[in-house]
Structure 1
Amino acid sequence: MIRYALRCDQGHDFDGWFRSSEAFETTRAAGHVSCMHCGSAKVEKSLMAPAVPAAKKGDTAMTPAEAALHALRQQVEANSDYVGLKFVDEARAMHEGRSPARAIHGEAKIEEARKLIEEGVPVAPLPFIPRQKTN
């Protein structure tokens, strides 16, 4: 199916789905394509942005920004311990001396991270999307 951006002679924009370009032309010539706003049968295809397919799984092409974030993530993961959802408790325990100081990374809700900062616990957000674990 092909989605076309359409415009009638009255300037109304709307979309239409057709099996092919030929199907659109045949349907329009038969008078079966009309504006959904005013009913005009004088309809033309209008300019539209091309559909850009999403990157395929396994596609390694990255933008420079994506490559930089990927490298940063690798550096963080290689040089710190992942504590997951226990990040807030572990960061606070290290700050208070109840746990040995070390580099950690994990996950925290915004409100919890804000409380750590207010308490003087040295934390910083990382620009990563958490890895989704699936069964």
Structure 2
Amino acid sequence: MKVLDLQCAHQHVFEGWFGSEDDFHQQLERGLVSCPLCGDLRVEKKLSAPRLNLRAAREESSATRPEGVTLSNHPAQAELVELQGRMLKAMREIMTSTEDVGERFAEQARAMHHGEIERRNIRGQTSAAVALELLEEGVEVMPLPMLPAVKDTLQ
């Protein structure tokens, strides 16, 4: 199994697992490799150091490099990956704790606001103009991006 550090055109960094280097290139050519955050198919392999499980090598290299810097990640890169992971986790929590009402979002939100139906946590789709109308009416709404990765389990 080959673990590759990948990055999309929007600078999202993620990890991909492939049977071989050829397997990665074949999947990339067939459009099967996409960014789990934005769905972008323009993915490229990042340079990364091999991960060797040699205790002596780890102890020696950690003594000669700045604290927090690993062989394959710069501190800023590690922070970005951590932030992306936290965002995905938060979005998944939203998905599991809300009911998807689809295109009926505005109708359902207004009905709850006016006490016509029981309040519950909902999500759905509406236009930006309708979302602004809801806000002007005092209906609390919050636009969220729909990320492909929140629908599926990342492996």
| TM-score after normalising by structure 2 | 0.43
Higher relative contact order (CA 8 A, sep 6+): 2
In our comparison, the structure showing a higher alpha carbon Rg is 1
Query: Larger % of helix: which?
Result: 2
